[in-house]
A and B are shown apart, each in its own frame.
Chain A
Amino acid sequence: MESAMELTGRDAPVPGAVVVPSAWEKSGFAALYAEHARAIYYLALRLLGDPTRAEDATHDVFLKAFRKFDQFRGEAAVRTWLYRITINHCHNLQQAWHHRTMVTNVEETLWDQTPGAEQSPLRVLELKELGQRIQRALDALPAEYRLLLLLVADQALSYAEVAELTQQSADAVRGKLHRARRAFAAVFAPTA
């Protein structure tokens, strides 16, 4: 009884205390987070180019989704719905920042927190370097191509869903995707 009262309280959680909000579990949101957090965080990371901002953005995206979760009717796939929130949120953040923070400012931290703890230092270094190169290549692309490639890389999405998310036809997606691939290759390969 005491723990239930603590859980429903509005005070800040006691450090070290186990926080098990009933809304998180009962709403099914825990399962939703488990299934989609990785994809949402990755999209935010590559759109924003900074792990800390990506973490903040992912938090805000899921919080927005939670607030509207009871209104979600399932007309769209959950992944698509979450992507839409993410794209809009990141776009708003970028506009607010007024200019993109280029990867040179975040190179040292870009991958520090992402590789698994079990990976060897050499492997971590490889991943860090690859991540930096990918980020540089994406940053060099027009925003439309960057988003298109990131969405298409997610095999959970269909062309129709990518088209819906980018507000164009599926044929337009295919045409631009062709150019986006070439643009990415042109930037990515020379940096090897």
Chain B
Amino acid sequence: MEPTPPNPRLKQTPAEATRLDPLQRTEQEGGRAFDTPEEVLRYDASQVTPPPALETRLKESVAREAPPKLGWWRRLFGRR
């Protein structure tokens, strides 16, 4: 029913979305107009940042995951 876009990349979707026209100017927020749900979500995503503590927490978890790199002398003599 719908013609297949020649380029499958979603970067082309605004044109397609306009053609589909599911919502016209759904929302205006702070002077910003959104034509498609994808635009709403992209804007939303651009405003969200992971909590800074997350990276620190993940680094600590990764450090615990990584096997300790012991020298052969430490393995041999089993210092703990």
Contact = CB atoms under 8 A, between A and B. Distances in A.
Q: Do the two shown chains form a genuine complex with each other?
A: yes
Interface stretch (A71-79, A81-89, A177-185): A177-185
Interface stretch (A34-42, A90-98, A99-107): A34-42
Contacts of A126: 29-30
A160 B54 contact: no
B9 to A, nearest CB: 5
Given A24-B59, A188-B27, A115 B47 contact: yes
B59 A188 contact: no
A171 interface: yes
B63 A181 contact: no
Nearest to B22: A181
A149 B37 contact: yes
Nearest to A180: B37
Main secondary structure of the interface of A (DSSP, over half): helix
Nearest to A52: B51
A149 B41 contact: yes
B15 interface: no
A127 B47 contact: yes
Give the residue among B10, B54, B61 with the most A Cβ atoms within 10 A.
B10
Interface string A2-19: 000001111001000001
Contact of B38 (A7, A66, A67, A153): A153
Interface residues of A, number: 62
Q: Could you tell me the dominant secondary structure of chain B's interface residues?
A: helix
Contacts of B55: 33, 37
A60 B51 CA distance: 14
A152 B10 contact: yes
B62 A155 contact: no
Contacts of A168: none
A158 B10 contact: yes
B36 to A, nearest CB: 7
B51 A170 contact: no
A13 B10 contact: no
Interface in B23-63: 23, 26-27, 29-30, 36-38, 40-42, 44-45, 47-51, 53-63
9 contacts: A7-B63, A8-B69, A20-B59, A114-B47, A130-B44, A134-B44, A155-B42, A181-B20, A185-B37
Interface of B: 1-2, 4, 8-11, 13, 17, 20, 22-23, 26-27, 29-30, 36-38, 40-42, 44-45, 47-51, 53-66, 68-70
The 7 closest A-B pairs by CB, nearest first: A185-B23, A21-B63, A23-B66, A153-B41, A181-B22, A41-B50, A184-B37
